Amino acid sequence: MPWLNMTIFIPFLFALLVPFIYKKFTPKIHTGWFVLVVPILIFIYLLTYIPAISNGKFIHSSLPWIPSYGINFTTYIDGLSLIFGLLITGIGTLVVLYSIFYLSKHREALNNFYVYLLLFMGAMLGLVFSDNVLVLYVFWELTSISSLLLIAYWYEREKSRYGAQKSMLITIFGGLAMLAGFIMLSIITDTYSIREMFTKVDSIVSHSLFLPAMLLVLLGAFTKSAQFPFSIWLPDAMEAPTPISAYLHSATMVKAGIYLVARMTPIFGGTAEWFWIVSGIGLITLLYGSVNAVRQTDLKALLAYSTISQLGLIMSLLGIGSAAMYFGIGDESEVYTVAILAAIFHLINHSTFKGCLFMVVGIIDHETGTRDIRKLGGLMNLMPVSFTLTIIGTFAMAGLPPFNGFLSKEMFLTAVLNVSQMSVFNMESLGSLFPIVAWIASIFTFVYSMILVFKTFRGKYRPERLEKKVHEAPIGMLLPPIVLASLVIGIFFFPNILSNYLLKPAVASILPSLAMGGEIYVKKISAWHGWNTELYMTIGIVVFGTLLYIYLRKWIRIYLFYPQSMTLNNMYNSGMEKSEDLFQSITNRYMTGSIRDYLVYIFAFIIFIIGGALWLLDGISFDHSQDASISVYEGGIVISMVISAVAVLLSNSRLTSIVAVGALGLLVSFLFVLFRAPDLALTQLVVETVTTALFLLCFYHLPQLRKEISKVRFKATNAIISIGVGVVVTIFALSVNGTKLFDSISSFYENSYELAGAQNIVNAILVDFRGIDTMLEILVLAIAGIGVYTLIKLRLSGGDENEGTK
């Protein structure tokens, strides 16, 4: 198996070993020390691809999965996927190291934690390296499932279960929509390969399914990356342990939607619809997240809304940058290429400073026992290292020098100023909104950044409000955020090393039509560009942001005027409650507890759906020209079968009904004998003998049958349903026999001796041609048998339900 594919499977394989490692070494050694090896090795392995990727090459590997349908496990590494792969494993390494000191090996179920974490890591790697859209979808949903398990890790808490459920419902809903979009793209292009779709952009854009496919794909991306209005799941997901928040909600899972939009830009980019939806939703999310972050009193909730805002910023940059594809190769497209560069650059920067901040917030919670800003304050002298790390992370988030967030924020301002002057996509009238919204959102970003650092570490220290005696965290817990904080500063001073080796190839992979031989124009990243508009906007952000922070108490009450009934969370909760009531009422109508009612529903469905389809689609067709003649023996057996069936209906004795059913099965076996199928006849005889014996055994223990007087309506309904099903099935069978759309498959089995070495066709079909079906049927019967045996054993032993589950 190629090593590229192994990088995806290694986390899954190691996840199988975690329970055994946990059982063997806990509590002597923390399980995380064993798990730490996995992301380190994969990260080091991915680093070896940087020279080739930076030179414009790509790595491709493929394994057959379902080749008959053109579905293969195809992996692909280019500049974009390599960046994500390094983030997933690099941040994953630091998160695992952090969790070793954050999670107690004595009180936590570490086996579950690391199994879920490795499942998520493998799913994310599979997602970003997949070239097949169906394989990508499989990993996409696997990230949703594994994140559900991680968010609900402390499942005994109601808020954890609620947050996990909300994230699952929203992201899986988006994933199903995305799958529909992928299927539409495969219909248009006749391929599942993303790379091959890139070569068929013209046919995609001109197709009638272009807009539906684009909207469905974006729906999946927006739900995953918490874009407005689907952003409500992210704050509730903060109930997960802090290492999970640092991993999923700053560097990996929430970036999956960003990855999808970047990956699909070569297909949908350059169109007005893509430009407006991606950039517009991104700007709205940017403003929504920054405005709501200011009002939060929980540190993780503040970081959650700030993450929403930063994701909106990156999304808007991808939308703005897609305009480069409209202009094609030339100086004008280079202006908008800067936006793509800024998007990828800020994606990396955000992962560093936000991962650092999440870890520091976890340290504060771990050492003080609270994340409530109203209870914190005066921690600067007690936790000097954490204070320094918070300064670095928050100032980078606010876009201040000398931190990497300043560089990408300035590039963001350049992009919105450039796009406001664009003369296409109706930007002449609406283009001015882009820099205005970006500037206002940046002011609120500055405000909540100041709240995070100064409300927590400055002010008066009030130990009576805290649950623990405050002290600095151990070095093991501080080391991961120190590494990230070092990257925040290092990237600021050496941004072009990152640009030349990682950012430039990523931009070329997002805009392949503009890359010439793997080369593409990428602006040199610099901290100083003179006294330009972007710098004046930054000065305005700092000035107005400082004023708003100083007078925060005087204007923060504005939020109280917004009605709670209009919030997205309230709408979600109300919608869920009403949906549950509606579905409960519907369920109560058909879940009556009566088997007869259930059979009526099922058979009525058969009558209306199959019968209606036959009628509306002109499927009723009878052709008896090739039918064999009916012998006297066959006719006699059929008549006897009818008599036996009627006897079951008219009998007043259970014993008579059982005998009649057994006789009916016996007559069927006689038909098999006449049709020269002795194996089927023997099987039928065995089955009928066993079932008849079981019927007699069961009915022996039932109370005596009482003759009940049923209403005419009751009997009439039964008669109509019974006759209707019989007529529909008969017509359907005769129509199938009279309509041959394909050649009969029976000719394939005629040479069963050559193919399977079996002289009996029936045996060959059951054992060889359909061996897997037969094996699964046996498995189902075995499981059912074990279940029946268990229930009987519990009943005989007198054990109750609780004892049986221990």
Q: Where are the domains of the chain?
A: 3-550, 592-621+712-740, 631-701, 751-806
Cis previous bond, 229, omega within 30 = yes
Short-list 240, 83, 222, CA closest to 147: 240
Give the position of tokens 């124009």.
521
The whole-number pLDDT of residue 250 equals 75
Instruction: Write the single-letter amino acid at 647.
Output: A
DSSP-derived pairing of the beta strands 71-77 and 59-66: antiparallel
C-beta of residue 341 within 8 angstroms of C-beta of residue 357: no
Is 74 in a helix, a strand, or coil?
strand
Low-confidence residues of the chain: pLDDT under 70: 1-3, 329-332, 515-519, 704-710, 798-806
Structural tokens at position 718 = 């039964």
Instruction: Write the single-letter amino acid at 539.
Output: I
553-572 b/e (C-beta count within 10 Å ≥ 16 → b): eeeeeeeeeeeeeeeeeeeb
Short-list 399, 440, 450, 449, CA closest to 287: 440
Q: How far apart are the first and last CA of the chain?
A: 42
Short-list 160, 167, 166, CA closest to 144: 167
**CA distances for 535 relative to 174, 355, 452, 530, angstroms:** 39, 27, 24, 8
Q: Considering Cα of 587, then 588, then 594, then 597, what sign does the dihedral take?
A: negative
The whole-number pLDDT of residue 116 equals 93
The whole-number pLDDT of residue 801 equals 45
Which of left, alpha, beta for 270 (phi over 0: left; psi -120 to 50: alpha)?
left
The DSSP H or E segment spanning 72 is strand 71-77
**CA distances for 650 relative to 1, 636, 643, 656, angstroms:** 66, 21, 10, 10
Give the position of tokens 């379902």.
66
**CA distances for 574 relative to 496, 564, 565, 566, angstroms:** 50, 12, 9, 11
Structural tokens at position 608 = 């209306």
Q: How far apart are CA 117 and CA 112, in angstroms?
A: 9
Residues 503-534 pLDDT 10s: 999 998 998 877 654 567 777 888 888 888 99
pTM, rounded to two decimals? 0.81
Pure H helices in 532-621: 533-550, 552-555, 568-590, 595-616
Beta bridge partners of 66: 71
Residues 723-737 pLDDT 10s: 899 899 888 888 887
The whole-number pLDDT of residue 46 equals 93
Q: How far apart are CA 149 and CA 535, in angstroms?
A: 45
Q: How far apart are CA 456 and CA 363, in angstroms?
A: 12
> In whole angstroms, what separates CA 273 from the centre of its chain?
25
The DSSP H or E segment spanning 23 is helix 3-25
Q: Considering Cα of 111, then 112, then 118, then 121, what sign does the dihedral take?
A: negative
